Amino acid sequence: MAKRDYYEILGVERTSNDEQLKKAYRKLAMKYHPDRNPDDASAAERFKEATEAYEILSDPSKRNAYDQFGHQGVDASGFGSGRSATDAFNDIFGDIFGDIFGGNDPFGRRQRSNRGSDLQYSLSISLENAVRGVTEKIRIPALEACSPCSGSGAEPGTNPSRCPSCNGAGQIRMQQGFFSVSQTCRQCGGNGEVITSPCKNCRGEGRIEKKKTLSVKIPSGVDTGDRIRLSGEGESGFSGGPSGDLFVQIKVLPHDVFERDGKHLYCEAPISFVEASLGGEIEIPTLDGKVKIKVPEGTQTGKLFRLKGKGVGQVRGGSIGDLLCRVVIETPQKLDSKQKALLKELGSSLKESKNTPISSAWFSKVKSFFDGN
């Protein structure tokens, strides 16, 4: 008997996207699922038919072959290859109904991961080391595989036995409404095995806590919030499983002179009233040493001087940032009588001249504001 069109089976257009396919299939699967229609051969056939259609159309390569050649294009790689509709449904059931079963496999297949947990370590470094890059040594506590039992948790010379509660399946099947739901076995924790003779060294845990020292290579340009991944340096896995990863979280400490904003650095340099008025050369710091810059005559406080390429390089490449130095005019304190007299004389002289255009403009605006009211 000729097969029906897959799009017709799901009741969707040929232009339907993945989400529309999933929605249509979920509706049919809920309606015709065998647990909901016991002893109904027609419903079982419709369920199998919908599952086959979704399995083909949800796979981009199979869908493309089907669109071009019809059923002949997918018979060699689809269900015609000996793969049943139930097998295909098993593969996609967790994605479709994961919210119903909380991620457990409703067909009772064991789903266990013996991989160890990932760890995180917070590492504080100076701005200089963040900019230049450095290798830091860190010492962390970690769970490592127990040597005497090789991580199995069983006393050397013995082996774990099959769990009597789940018969080695790792899950207990339970009925939930019209669905048969599997839950993790509490006795074995989903491992399918129980340890009758625990290892004396690790007390059956398979892991022991140790301190280990690691070298962490910090690339130049890192900033606060960046993470460095050390693969396999996390906690050891259960029962000889793979280790997790260690993530080193970077925190760049505040600096006494510089502030960082991405790839740029900022600093402030005090200059005297005389230097600001007459101009001259001043020394400012950089991470590579001191440099001299020229301060033009009549420099105002807050003026920014940019030193290109004196900032921070970027971890993933790109141009190096700049150093921006903001000059701040320092007001002298605790003047002696001679200094005060000289400043008063200078102040009187400036009032009679046009050497203060900013003040003159400001007072002019203030006068216009009050006159307008």
Number of folded domains in the chain?
A: 3
The answer to whether residue 184 sits within a structural domain is: no
The answer to whether residue 169 sits within a structural domain is: no
Are residues 326 and 209 both part of a single domain?
Answer: no
Final residue in a domain of this structure, among 213, 237, 253: 253
Give the position of tokens 């839950």.
183
The string of pLDDT tens digits covering residues 345-367 is: 888 887 777 777 777 788 788 88
Neighbours of 67 (CB within 10 A): 13
Question: What's residue 240's pLDDT?
Answer: 64
The answer to whether residue 232 sits within a structural domain is: yes
Are residues 286 and 323 both part of a single domain?
Answer: yes
In degrees rounded to 5, what are phi and psi of residue 357? -65, -35
Are residues 140 and 248 both part of a single domain?
Answer: yes
Are residues 35 and 150 both part of a single domain?
Answer: no
Q: Which residues of the chain have pLDDT under 50?
A: 76-112
The string of pLDDT tens digits covering residues 15-34 is: 889 889 988 998 898 888 87
Check which CATH number belongs to the domain holding 217 and give it.
2.60.260.20
Question: What's residue 322's pLDDT?
Answer: 95
The answer to whether residue 86 sits within a structural domain is: yes
The answer to whether residue 200 sits within a structural domain is: no
Question: What's residue 92's pLDDT?
Answer: 44
The amino acid present at 316, given as its one-letter code, is R
How far is Cα 138 from Cα 215, in angstroms, rounded to an integer? 6
Question: What's residue 32's pLDDT?
Answer: 87
Rounded alpha-carbon distances, angstroms, from residue 211 to 84, 110, 116, 143, 218 = 51, 34, 16, 9, 21
- H or E element at residue 138: strand 134-145
pTM: 0.55
Query: Containing domain of residue 216, as a range?
Result: 118-154+205-253
The answer to whether residue 186 sits within a structural domain is: no
The answer to whether residue 347 sits within a structural domain is: yes
Question: What's residue 113's pLDDT?
Answer: 52
Burial of residue 257, with CB atoms counted within 10 A of its CB: 0-12 exposed, 13-18 middle, 19 or more buried: middle
